[in-house]
């Protein structure tokens, strides 16, 4: 078996690879050991997933949605005080039901500490998540490329010849290189809001839920018979799209125009094999 990123032998690898990072709420969309070798698994976690997850805007989203880290911790966020003391790092303490049970502050001023002791905690201002503040550039494109290649491998995980083809396919080398090393620096992608971030749904049993994330692949056939492959990723109503074949996104914009701007995740044309709905 060869790793789909470095192409080296990965037969002895032990790591299970999470396609969508665990810290975004993913527990079950995974790849079996060996599809991504242990070395690449660790490198991707440090150099691809961490920069995205640690971005202040993403930390705020994870805090609002009660998404724990791989180690089971809620992220710290930067809040402010209108009662003096300036910025303050806030750690929200939540119970097992994700209900707020307390607040901890780090590095606060004496004035703010006094206000807190007196119960004047209304002086703390919490920032609000905004899609426009999301990280940009290769912090996002490298993560999308990683998830796209891994989702492609997941669909072929029962066929060793299919996995070998992914590892050896020269056409995928540019996105492989971009994911592992960040070059080329620019790999354009699309991001837009298709649902409200707090959009709620009710299933046939009357139970309410939110969609944490969905991932799908969109395949387009070119006039010359070639195939263009896009990864489509939904995170709390925000749809990301990236081409795995080349650093171009115009083909996806054209597809959207031809399909009334409906997301592939909503048209049913590329319906996933697994249930994408993740309950909170």
Domain boundaries, the chain: 69-130, 134-267
Cα separation, 64 vs 71, in Å, equals 18
Rounded to 10 degrees, the C-alpha dihedral 205/211/213/218 comes to 80
Cα separation, 31 vs 35, in Å, equals 7
* Cis check: omega of the bond before 213, within 30 degrees of 0: no
Terminal Cα distance for the chain, rounded? 36
Look at the pTM and tell me if it is higher than 0.85: no
Cα separation, 272 vs 214, in Å, equals 9
What are the tokens at 181? 């090393």
Give the pLDDT confidence score for residue 67 in this predicted structure: 85
Instruction: Please choose, from the candidates 104, 96, 48, 97, the residue with its C-alpha nearest in 3D space to the C-alpha of residue 75.
Output: 104
The residue with tokens 């597809």 is: 255
Helix (H, G, I), strand (E, B) or coil at 64: helix
Instruction: Please choose, from the candidates 31, 12, 238, 51, the residue with its C-alpha nearest in 3D space to the C-alpha of residue 149.
Output: 31
Q: How far is CA 109 from CA 61, 80, 105, in A?
A: 26, 12, 10
Number of Cβ atoms within 10 Å of the Cβ of 126:
14
Cα separation, 4 vs 7, in Å, equals 6
pLDDT by 10-residue block (mean), the chain, 280 residues: 95 95 92 96 96 91 83 75 56 57 54 56 66 92 98 94 94 96 93 85 75 91 84 94 96 94 75 35
Contact by Cβ (8 Å): 248, 189: no
What are the tokens at 46? 């440090």
Give the pLDDT confidence score for residue 221 in this predicted structure: 86
Cα separation, 85 vs 82, in Å, equals 8
């Amino acid at each position: 078996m060869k790793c789909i990123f470095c192409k080296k032998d990965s037969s002895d690898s032990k790591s299970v690879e999470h396609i969508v990072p665990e810290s975004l709420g993913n527990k079950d969309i995974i790849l079996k050991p060996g599809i991504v070798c242990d070395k690449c698994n660790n490198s991707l976690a440090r150099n691809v997933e961490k920069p995205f997850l640690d971005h202040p805007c993403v930390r705020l989203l994870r805090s609002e949605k009660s998404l724990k880290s791989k180690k089971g911790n809620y992220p710290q966020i930067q809040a402010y005080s209108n009662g003096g003391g300036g910025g303050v790092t806030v750690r929200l303490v939540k119970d097992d039901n994700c209900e707020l049970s307390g607040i901890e502050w780090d590095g606060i001023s004496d004035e703010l500490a006094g206000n807190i002791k007196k119960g004047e905690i209304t002086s703390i201002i919490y920032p609000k998540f905004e899609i426009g503040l999301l990280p940009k550039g290769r912090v996002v494109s490298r993560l999308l490329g990683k998830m796209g290649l891994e989702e492609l491998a997941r669909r072929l995980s029962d066929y060793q010849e299919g996995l070998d083809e992914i590892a050896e396919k020269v056409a995928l080398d540019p996105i492989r290189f971009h994911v592992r090393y960040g070059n080329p620096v620019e790999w354009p992608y699309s991001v837009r809001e298709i649902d409200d971030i707090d959009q709620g749904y009710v299933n046939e049993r009357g139970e309410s839920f939110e969609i944490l994330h969905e991932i799908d692949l969109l395949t387009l056939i070119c006039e010359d018979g070639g195939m263009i492959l896009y990864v489509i990723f939904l995170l709390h109503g925000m749809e990301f799209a990236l081409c795995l074949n080349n650093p171009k996104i115009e083909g996806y914009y054209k597809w959207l125009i031809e399909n009334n701007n409906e997301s592939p995740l909503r048209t049913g044309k590329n319906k996933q094999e697994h249930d994408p709905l993740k309950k909170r």
